[in-house]
Amino acid sequence: MPLYLDSHATTPLDPRVLEAMMPYLTDRFGNAASTTHSFGHEAAEAVARARAQVAAATGAQPDDVVFTSGATEALNLAIKGTAEAARGGGHIVTCVAEHPAVLDACARMERAGVRVTRLPIEPDGSLSPARVAAALEDDTFLAAIMQANNEIGTIHDIASIAALCAERGVPLLTDATQSAGKIPLRMEEWGVRMAALSAHKVYGPKGVGALIVRRSGRPRLRLTPQIDGGGHERGLRSGTLNVPGIVGLGAALEIAEAERETEAARLGALRDRLRARLFGELDALEENGTAPAKLAHNLNVAFHFVDSAALLNAVPQVAVSTGSACSSAEPEPSHVILALGHGEEHARCSVRFGLHRFTTPEDIEQAASLVIAAVRELRGHSGLYGAT
């Protein structure tokens, strides 16, 4: 296994999370909807505990938690569900740098008659809350703004955005997929109405996530279910509950919350070391997403004169990414880097590093050395680099 520095795409499962899941992969196999026997009760109790863990980690109530198969499904439910409940028409405010799951759902709703405002971001990757507030209109039924960006790690001030949205009576949905368990989220306190997250970005298993929906409060939040048949999850999401996965999500968030501050400090120091080495030993580099509020484990760098795909090929020992994993099958340049005001050339030489819980100082030194050597080698072949 190469040095894995792509934790924004997915994270390794923490052995402690797997340990929490194991009873539900062995003897406690009941269907949580089997209300008439003890196998079912046991499963339902485990789901209730996980619900409380997810609520505690997001500052919401256990009843607000709707388990899904992941963040993509959760975001689809939030956006398409509110748009359908708004019965065609109305207005959504979002941002150009959101994850494709949000942008695609918004684009589909736009084709169905919803107006969509896509706010720009600043060259440092930040988004001013005032800009969000100014975009709200009388018929805005949803604002969808991510808590932290999945490519450049910049953090948006969700507390302020939520407060401004609440003043205008607009529910705020935040995509917390990259931030859950890494920075605080206080849904109730801040007035965030919906948040989406995924277990596998926080050392939990793949195949499970949640949409946290605070339906109470004003104005009433209406959501049309997108998966019917059985009436699970208060009718918002049908289907047999993935009990081991849900237990894993709860455990993963609980562990991440408990270790949040020390882990952020540790990863921040490692990330700073990586940045210092790259910028100290190479020239013609530029960091993407320089806003001060940034995830501690993210670093996104443009290596000028080096095609990022060629760089990835040149250092197969280091697993990094050229953009978000969901779109990296496509050769398109990153929409986030373009949104910073850069051209395609810049986007095509940008690389995302994502550190994680199992990243060691040795990993960082080794990865830095390998990347630096590869960049020098590739630039050696580049006529453009020599010409500057």
Partner 1 sequence: MAYFDHAATTPLDPRVRDVMLEHAGEPLNPSSIHQPGQRARRLLDQARGQLAAAVGLGDAGQVCFTSGATEAANLALRGLATGNTGGPLHVVTSALEHSCVRETLEHLAETGRVVLHLLPVGGDGRAVLDDDAIPMQAGLLCLMHANNETGVVQDVAAARALARRRGIPWLCDACQTLGKEPLVLDDLGADLVILSAHKAYGPVGIGCLAGPGLGRLVPQITGGAQEEERRAGTPSVPLARAFAAAAELAVAELGQRREHLAALEEEFLACLARAGAPHRLNGTAPRLPGFLNLSFPGRDAVDMVIALDQHGESASPGSACSTGVVAASPVLAAMYPDDAERAAGGVRFTFGRQTTRQEVATLAETIVSIL
The residues assigned a catalytic role are: 326
Residue with the two structure tokens 């589909």: 108
Q: In angstroms, what is the minimal distance from the CB of 225 to partner 1?
A: 8
Per CB under 8 A, does 226 bind partner 1?
yes
Q: Which of residues 351-370 bind partner 1 (CB under 8 A)?
A: 356
Per CB under 8 A, does 37 bind partner 1?
yes
Between the two ends of the chain, the Cα-to-Cα distance in Å is 37
How many Å apart are CA 264 and CA 268, to the nearest integer? Answer: 6
Q: Which residues contact 179 (CB under 8 A, 6 or more apart)?
A: 146, 147, 148, 155, 185, 295
Per CB under 8 A, does 208 bind partner 1?
yes
Residue with the two structure tokens 């946290």: 212
Q: In angstroms, what is the minimal distance from the CB of 265 to partner 1?
A: 23
Q: Indicate the residue among 230 and 343 with the shorter CB distance to partner 1.
A: 230
Q: In angstroms, what is the minimal distance from the CB of 124 to partner 1?
A: 26
Q: In angstroms, what is the minimal distance from the CB of 177 to partner 1?
A: 10
Q: Is the distance from CB of 141 to CB of 112 less than 8 angstroms?
A: no
Q: Which of 29, 88, 345, 377 binds partner 1 (CB under 8 A)?
A: 29
Q: Which of residues 50-109 bind partner 1 (CB under 8 A)?
A: 68-73, 75-76, 99-105, 108
Per CB under 8 A, does 39 bind partner 1?
yes
Q: Which of 301, 320, 337, 368 binds partner 1 (CB under 8 A)?
A: 320
Q: Which residues contact 282 (CB under 8 A, 6 or more apart)?
A: 303, 372, 375, 376
Q: Which of residues 229-258 bind partner 1 (CB under 8 A)?
A: 229-232, 238-245
Sign of CA dihedral 119, 124, 126, 131: negative
Q: Indicate the residue among 114 and 291 with the shorter CB distance to partner 1.
A: 114
Q: Indicate the residue among 206 and 273 with the shorter CB distance to partner 1.
A: 206
Per CB under 8 A, does 175 bind partner 1?
no
Count the neighbouring beta carbons within 10 Å of the beta carbon of residue 39.
15
Q: Indicate the residue among 104 and 281 with the shorter CB distance to partner 1.
A: 104
In 230-356, alpha helices (H): 243-258, 260-281, 308-314, 335-339, 344-348
Among candidate residues 286, 290, 273, 268, the one with its CA nearest the CA of residue 345: 286
Per CB under 8 A, does 10 bind partner 1?
yes
Question: What is the DSSP secondary structure assignment for residue 160, as one 8-state letter?
Answer: H
Q: Which of 156, 182, 200, 297 binds partner 1 (CB under 8 A)?
A: 200
Q: Which of residues 260-319 bind partner 1 (CB under 8 A)?
A: 309, 312, 316, 318-319
